[in-house]
Structure 1
Amino acid sequence: MKATVTAHKDYTIAEIDDRVYGAFLEHLGRAIYSGIYEPDHPTADADGMRGDVAELVKALNIPLVRYPGGNFVSAYNWEDGIGPKEDRPTRLDLAWHTSDNNEVGIHEFAKWCETVGTEMMLAVNLGSRGLDAARNFLEYVNHPGGSYWSDLRIKNGQKDPWNVKVWCLGNEMDGPWQVGHKDAEEYAKLANETAKAMRAFDSSLELIVCGSSHADMPTYPEWERIVLEHTYDVVDHVSLHMYFRNPEKNTENFLALNQKLDRYIETIASTIRYVKGKKRSKRDVYISFDEWNVWYHSQQQDRAILQGSTGWPHAPALLEDIYNFEDVLQVGCVINTFIRRSDVVKIACIAQLVNVIAPIMTERGGDAWKQTIYYPYYFASIYGRGTALHLLVNSPGYDSIHDDNVPYLDVSGVHDEENGMLTFFLVNRHANESIDVEIGLQGFTGGTIADHQVMTHSNLEAVNTSKNKEEVAPRKGSGAQVADGKLSASLPPYSYQMIRVKL
């Protein structure tokens, strides 16, 4: 099978915001406790944070991490996580039917972010609480001193403010499952007033208003229209979430889900344009896709805890999807979509980072390792920074339940002009046939293969474990070459590849 791609230096989409490679950590399951934080672990630092996990996170060069939720935030009192640990209360978490001893709060999370080299992206509780708690939290986090909440932060050991710029106005408030769920009008008015109050403190903040929890919500996309008509002048992003499932074990349909993702993004982008036009506004609002990942492997095993039959356990194993090789292909396609939509998607957060539907897994007291999906996320985060190219793709396709004529070749291209590099991320969605791909490099001078990474496996169900950490891992590719202004390569069936060209 053959496919052709045209990449032209002048045909670009947008500069990719580095924050598209963000992540998410919620007080859920073992994401925090025995994920990033385990004081008794052999690698733990003085603050109780696991050093082995920190090293795996550092390698990803994550620009920002969303915290503390998620569904958790809608009944969370941020004040529970400050002050001496021995004085902090244990609370019941209604979202995940567990308990939290609050040993990790804003101080611990901020220090961990500093350790791994990332920024905080904080969410405020607009479910069980509202404007007052949000403005107090902001003052505690960002004010230098001389006020009640900032002086309390200093008393608790943090002299300098953290100056967090990105704030989420609640989480999934369109969802009936959410503590404090509201209809669009009710939420929009609260979000608008909260945003106004936060901007009265600091007009340079970036604020994210809740959009649809997924594209099948009955209120989508009317929710976005209503919410944005109330908040357009005071917010910068609207959040979207999507999880990718394959319980039917139909790989063709599973790997076509990013077509649905693309329509979801386009629908909300057009809704943003509609509201902007209606308001005659000069402002631009963008999309923060701050929850996304494959999530379905663990849903049966989670049922007992989520239904409350096990009481209120602290940090149980929840949402611990064990990812396989098939999921590598899916994550590659999803990230390609974000790159191709970099004109409107400015923030995205893989959900989540450790243990809970995550690229990194740990054992209590034991090892940490890379799940299969770690690798496409890593390659994109490290090498997918620069300008997204508008590629002209000609590939055979197939019909799926999500779309017709889904191209077997899924590809994105990034031009890093400063370092003279072109990077292509490619997925072959065909089960049996290789794709011989030829990419025309128009407007680019010269070119040699700088790096070529390939991920394939004979078993779509293959996974990585603590005992076999590299069952699914990248290997050096061969055969790719640049000649006569064209990059050529062969993509084996069901494969992920990254090819970098030094110009």
Structure 2
Amino acid sequence: RYPGGNFVSAYNWEDGIGPQSERPTRLDLAWRTAESNQVGIHEFARWAEAANTEMMLAVNLGSRGLDAARNFVEYVNHPGGTYWSDLRRKNGQADPWNVKLWCLGNEMDGPWQVGHKSAAEYGHLANETAKAIRSFDDKLELVVCGSSHSDMPTFPQWEATVLDESYDQVDYISLHMYFMNYEKNTREYLALPEKLDRYIGSVSGVIDYIKAKKRSKKDVKISFDEWNVWYHEREADEKRMKEWDWPHAPVLLEDVYNFEDVLQVGCILNTFIRRSDVVRIACIAQLVNVIAPIMTEPGGAAWKQTIYYPFQFASCFGRGTALALDVDCARYNADVAADVSYLDIAGVHDDDAGTLTFFAVNRNGEEPMTIDLALERFGEAKSVEHTLIKHENLEAANTKDNPENVKPVKQDGATLTNGRVSLTVPPYSYSMIRVTL
């Protein structure tokens, strides 16, 4: 997803094209930095190709609007013979990128957003922008802005108003959520995915309501295109931003993640898998250094943060059809939710690979847990593999000098008997269980 994020709401996409030596430096109002525009759409597209990932582009509906959006789409996707497409060719990209996914702004419900609008104002602008760029290509998939988080005072009325304006022109509504543990209360922290689940369920209900109201045959899905743990450096960063004088590429939002965050990210990903009937897109924010699973030093080392591993496992092995699991286990009550299952688990069946994969978090910090998986309906299973992430210190982190302090380790002890898998996992642990059929 490029170029953001809060950044996009004051971004001129034209600043990021043409010779890099001639690109202007602008003030980034979102993060109080100087933006040199050395990375633009061409550089991002080359990175996406190298990373073998699909581009999801965002247009600026904060400080700009429909006209800039349609020009950007033409620059990116039109073959040639027009001003913007020929300029792309002149700048070294002969073929269009044919980007399918487009975000209609970012977090427009947020008063912090440049060009913040009311739901009615934004819904109208998003609808008109969508109609304009759909006239260019009616197969584009468009994402309208939902709430920045579920504690916004305008939630969920924002979703209802925006979708009432734009339902027939959009394919997704975006949601964002970040997870914090300022109170250092692990039980409450690990219950937050229950709040995430309610958030998704509430917006799904709003979608159904607007669909029924409009007598529409179209389904709108959820794009959860910003999520992560974010709090470790947040207060210090906010203080620094108030004091600094528009630096270029400063160290910012470089949270160092710990083992406790492994458990949280595992639960978040499990929620998305269980809700994949309506959540069709989910983008971690971000990828490198900035609240990211990968940390680097300029000109130096790169290493995997603790949260890299549950994200890697879900990305690589969370493929196929999500399973509706009937979970029977002990539960606890938290302030954010009642009846929280100590076992947070999601499963997928990959028919092509002939595998079942389960991602399990033991949210009980006191007791080990025996997991018994009844898989008889899938026929005779051939083998089972258990990978565990566990550390005795919840605050354990990976660093440049100790990059494998927290890492996955394959385990012995999982048994497979008559279509049932049994294994015991330690307190506060993350497990991936893979069954070959």
TM, length-normalised to structure 2? 0.99
Q: Match for 1:255 among 163, 187, 190? A: 190
Q: Match for 2:92 among 157, 180, 186? A: 157
TM superposition shift of 1:394? 0.5
Q: Is the 8 A contact 1:192 1:230 kept in 2?
A: yes
Once residues 91 and 466 of structure 1 are traced to their aligned partners in structure 2, the CA distance between those partners, rounded to angstroms, is 33
Q: Which residue is equivalent to 2:12?
A: 77
Q: Which residue is equivalent to 2:286?
A: 352
Q: Which residue is equivalent to 1:136?
A: 71
TM superposition shift of 1:450? 4.3
Once residues 419 and 108 of structure 1 are traced to their aligned partners in structure 2, the CA distance between those partners, rounded to angstroms, is 35
Q: Which residue is equivalent to 1:445?
A: 379
Q: Which residue is equivalent to 1:279?
A: 214
Matched, 1:107 2:58: no
Once residues 122 and 116 of structure 1 are traced to their aligned partners in structure 2, the CA distance between those partners, rounded to angstroms, is 16
Structure 1 pair 321–376 and aligned structure 2 pair: CA distance change class (3 A): same
Listed one character per residue, the Cα deviations across residues 412-460 of structure 1 (whole Å, up to 9, x for unaligned) are 0100011110000000001110011111113111113343210000000
Give the 5 Å matches for 1:41-190.
Answer: 66-190=1-125
Moved more, 440-449 or 243-252: 440-449
Listed one character per residue, the Cα deviations across residues 119-159 of structure 1 (whole Å, up to 9, x for unaligned) are 11000000000000000000000000000000000000000
Q: Secondary structure at the match of 1:233?
A: helix
Q: Secondary structure at the match of 1:67?
A: coil
Q: Secondary structure at the match of 2:217?
A: coil
Give the 5 Å matches for 1:327-342.
Answer: 327-342=261-276
Once residues 32 and 78 of structure 2 are traced to their aligned partners in structure 1, the CA distance between those partners, rounded to angstroms, is 34
TM superposition shift of 1:304? 3.2
Q: Is the 8 A contact 2:385 2:414 kept in 1?
A: no
Q: Secondary structure at the match of 1:232?
A: helix
Q: Match for 2:180 among 240, 245, 259? A: 245
Matched, 1:486 2:420: yes
Once residues 148 and 238 of structure 2 are traced to their aligned partners in structure 1, the CA distance between those partners, rounded to angstroms, is 21
Q: Which residue is equivalent to 2:168?
A: 233
Q: Secondary structure at the match of 2:216?
A: coil
Matched, 1:343 2:277: yes
Once residues 353 and 107 of structure 2 are traced to their aligned partners in structure 1, the CA distance between those partners, rounded to angstroms, is 39
Q: Match for 2:144 among 191, 194, 209? A: 209
Q: Is the 8 A contact 2:384 2:414 kept in 1?
A: no
Q: Match for 1:477 among 411, 414, 426? A: 411
Q: Which residue is equivalent to 1:415?
A: 349
Once residues 229 and 470 of structure 1 are traced to their aligned partners in structure 2, the CA distance between those partners, rounded to angstroms, is 50
Q: Match for 1:394 among 328, 332, 335? A: 328
Q: Count matched residues.
A: 437
For 1:181, the aligned partner's letter is H
Listed one character per residue, the Cα deviations across residues 9-44 of structure 1 (whole Å, up to 9, x for unaligned) are xxxxxxxxxxxxxxxxxxxxxxxxxxxxxxxxxxxx
Once residues 500 and 370 of structure 1 are traced to their aligned partners in structure 2, the CA distance between those partners, rounded to angstroms, is 23
Between Structure 1 and Structure 2, the one with more helix by share is 2
For 1:479, the aligned partner's letter is G
Structure possessing the higher relative contact order (Cα contacts under 8 Å, 6 or more residues apart):
1
Q: Is the 8 A contact 1:304 1:310 kept in 2?
A: no
For 2:155, the aligned partner's letter is Y
Matched, 1:467 2:394: no
Q: Match for 2:251 among 295, 306, 317? A: 317
Unaligned runs of 5+ in 2: none
Matched, 1:265 2:200: yes
For 1:394, the aligned partner's letter is D
Once residues 117 and 329 of structure 2 are traced to their aligned partners in structure 1, the CA distance between those partners, rounded to angstroms, is 45
For 2:265, the aligned partner's letter is V
Once residues 240 and 95 of structure 2 are traced to their aligned partners in structure 1, the CA distance between those partners, rounded to angstroms, is 40
Moved more, 484-493 or 69-78: 484-493
Q: Is the 8 A contact 1:173 1:181 kept in 2?
A: yes
Once residues 395 and 102 of structure 1 are traced to their aligned partners in structure 2, the CA distance between those partners, rounded to angstroms, is 52
Once residues 346 and 444 of structure 1 are traced to their aligned partners in structure 2, the CA distance between those partners, rounded to angstroms, is 26
TM superposition shift of 1:306? 2.2
Once residues 396 and 306 of structure 1 are traced to their aligned partners in structure 2, the CA distance between those partners, rounded to angstroms, is 45
Q: Is the 8 A contact 1:387 1:415 kept in 2?
A: yes
Q: Which residue is equivalent to 1:368?
A: 302
Listed one character per residue, the Cα deviations across residues 66-93 of structure 1 (whole Å, up to 9, x for unaligned) are 1111000000000000000111000000
Listed one character per residue, the Cα deviations across residues 168-226 of structure 1 (whole Å, up to 9, x for unaligned) are 00000000000000000000000000000010000000000000000000000000000
Listed one character per residue, the Cα deviations across residues 240-283 of structure 1 (whole Å, up to 9, x for unaligned) are 00000000000000000000000000000000000000000000
Ranges of 4+ aligned residues in structure 1 off by more than 6 Å: none
Once residues 234 and 449 of structure 1 are traced to their aligned partners in structure 2, the CA distance between those partners, rounded to angstroms, is 47
Q: Is the 8 A contact 1:448 1:481 kept in 2?
A: no
For 1:463, the aligned partner's letter is A
Once residues 101 and 415 of structure 2 are traced to their aligned partners in structure 1, the CA distance between those partners, rounded to angstroms, is 42
Q: Is the 8 A contact 1:449 1:499 kept in 2?
A: no
TM superposition shift of 1:301? 2.1
Q: Secondary structure at the match of 1:493?
A: coil
Q: Secondary structure at the match of 1:119?
A: coil
For 1:389, the aligned partner's letter is L
Unaligned runs of 5+ in 1: 1-65
Give the 5 Å matches for 1:187-206.
Answer: 187-206=122-141
Q: Secondary structure at the match of 2:358?
A: strand
TM superposition shift of 1:109? 0.6
Q: Secondary structure at the match of 1:291?
A: strand
Moved more, 435-444 or 391-400: 435-444
Matched, 1:302 2:237: yes
- RMSD of aligned residue pairs (Cα, Å): 0.7
Q: Match for 1:435 among 369, 384, 399? A: 369
Q: Secondary structure at the match of 2:168?
A: coil
Once residues 106 and 238 of structure 1 are traced to their aligned partners in structure 2, the CA distance between those partners, rounded to angstroms, is 24
Q: Which residue is equivalent to 1:293?
A: 228
Once residues 285 and 442 of structure 1 are traced to their aligned partners in structure 2, the CA distance between those partners, rounded to angstroms, is 35
Once residues 450 and 355 of structure 1 are traced to their aligned partners in structure 2, the CA distance between those partners, rounded to angstroms, is 35
Q: Match for 1:383 among 296, 314, 317? A: 317
Once residues 335 and 290 of structure 2 are traced to their aligned partners in structure 1, the CA distance between those partners, rounded to angstroms, is 29
